[in-house]
Structure 1
Amino acid sequence: MTSPVNDAICSAKGCRVAASWVLVWNNPKVHTPERRKTWLACGEHREYLEQFLGVRGFLKEVVAFTDWRP
């Protein structure tokens, strides 16, 4: 059996690199205020994914993958 950490890959389309960051977000038009969704990001795609969520007002926080506690 593989570890969940080994399966943690970047959420960017087509990227297969290990995740280094957790982007925590919520779409207020769809989700209740306390609900949190996550995308994983590698170092290369972190900024792009942050901007994508940020311009929509969805981004709540960014946490280093090693510090993430779901």
Structure 2
Amino acid sequence: MSDETPICSAKGCRTAAVWVLAWNNPKIHAPERRKTWLACEEHREHLAQFLGLRGFLKDVVAFEEWQARES
């Protein structure tokens, strides 16, 4: 990962991300594949609901924990 501050994936948001929302679209991705969206505190619930309603949301993890897993 780069040293740049991660930014929330919500449209128009420039706030630092503190959450990783891991998701997968089963129609186009292999079951083990995980795409990620980043979220600030304010947008975490909204983004999780968006993915959850579609059956895509697999996990919500603190950014620091996700980064540690990836190391």
Structure 1 portions without partners, runs of 5+:
none
Any residues of structure 2 matched to 1:1-70 within 5 Å, and which?
Answer: 3-4=3-4, 6=5, 8-68=6-66, 69-70=69-70
CA distance in 2, matches of 1:29, 1:35: 12
- Calculate the aligned-residue CA RMSD, in Å: 1.1
TM-score (norm 2): 0.89
Deviations 1:19-66 (A, max 9, x none): 010000000001011111000000000000000000000000000011
Length-normalised TM-score, structure 1 = 0.91
In 2, Cα distance between the equivalents of 1:58 and 1:52?
9
| Higher normalized helix content (fraction of residues) | 2
| Unpaired stretches in structure 2, ≥5 consecutive residues | none
Q: Secondary structure at the match of 1:51?
A: helix
Structure 1: 4+ residue segments shifted above 3 A: none
Q: Percent identity?
A: 73
